[in-house]
Structure 1
Amino acid sequence: MTDSHSGGCQCGAVRFRVTGALRDSSICHCRMCQKAFGAYYAPLVSTRGAELEWTRGERKTFRSSNFALRGFCGDCGTPLTYEAPDGIAIAAGAFDDPSLLPPVVQFGTEGKIGFVDRLHLLPCHTTEEDAVEAPFVLEVVSYQHPDRDTDRWPQDET
């Protein structure tokens, strides 16, 4: 049986499927990845040795260096790819089930922000617990694309 993983952006305009084994899931702490993801680090999954197919829409790209392109959705801005001469890596959170792709290595650790290693020590709260300070969270209706392939998106409202 061949592994197959699908995913896409937040709004559903861009979707992809990767067929084959995905073994190289990583976290990159370099400053370029921090800025590209707007986060403390970038979780990425290399598609080397697998087949990547764009099944809906086209990503836009930004050349972030002389070697790398960063792919993203032009509609909602979701980071999608890191593209370099050695292949394409997909943003781990863009997969429909990112829990299947745990990181196995960290790169760019010279840019690692010190408190990242202590995030697991912070107090944790469920969304419902946040409702005391922000009651609107109990009435949120998500307009995100679901974590599965759809024939079309957005769905007809009829």
Structure 2
Amino acid sequence: MTQLSGSCLCTAISYIANGTFDDFYLCHCKHCQKDTGSAHAANLFSSNATLQWQSGEDMIRRFHLPETQHIKSFCSKCGSAMPSWQMDNQLLVIPAGSLDHVISTRPTAHIFTSSQTWWAESLDAIPRYDSLPTT
């Protein structure tokens, strides 16, 4: 069993999740691109974990895209993605970026790659910097 803790950017919301995490997907669907503003979402999935809000539960907002299974929970103050129950509360989805510590789990797979942006291909070939480049 794994215990994960996380929070939003403004730290108004915090949580603890306990359980086994089945998958860690990088989702390239168009919905995840829109709600992250990036090439993909990075989410941990669990069918048996529990979730306990430590603070700020009343600040969570939930958006369910009509006629889809796409759900996003987020902080109403800073907009950070937060954990959500999906598939009639059968699946806990935790945004990896909301975690407060480093996890050893590596992503299981890229999913919905048919929607992948062209610029997200071959990212290992571009320069890397530890901080914002000065030139």
TM exceeding 0.5: yes
Query: Which residue in 2 is equivalent to 1:140?
Result: none
CA shift in 2, pair 1:83/1:38, >3 Å: farther
Query: Which residue in 2 is equivalent to 1:49?
Result: 48
CA shift in 2, pair 1:5/1:48, >3 Å: same
Larger strand fraction of residues: 2
Which has the higher Rg, Structure 1 or Structure 2?
A: 1
- TM-score, with length taken from structure 1: 0.74
CA shift in 2, pair 1:81/1:111, >3 Å: farther
Gaps of 5+ in 2: none
CA shift in 2, pair 1:24/1:68, >3 Å: same
Q: Secondary structure at the match of 1:22?
A: coil
- TM-score, with length taken from structure 2: 0.85
Query: Which residue in 2 is equivalent to 1:156?
Result: none
The 2-side partners of 1:106 and 1:65 are apart by: 24
AA of the residue aligned to 1:126: D
The 2-side partners of 1:106 and 1:83 are apart by: 21
The 2-side partners of 1:124 and 1:107 are apart by: 25
1:102 aligns with 2:106: yes
1:68, 1:83 within 8 Å by CA — same for their partners in 2? no
The 2-side partners of 1:18 and 1:125 are apart by: 32
The 2-side partners of 1:82 and 1:110 are apart by: 25
**Shift of residue 47 of structure 1?**
2.6
Aligned residue runs from structure 1 range 1-158, under 5 A: 2-58=1-57, 59-66=60-67, 67-81=69-83, 83-85=85-87, 86-127=90-131, 130=133, 132-133=134-135
The 2-side partners of 1:103 and 1:62 are apart by: 25
Larger helix fraction of residues: 1
The 1-side partners of 2:108 and 2:102 are apart by: 13
Percent identity between matched residues is 25
The 2-side partners of 1:81 and 1:106 are apart by: 20
Q: Aligned Cα RMSD in Å?
A: 1.8
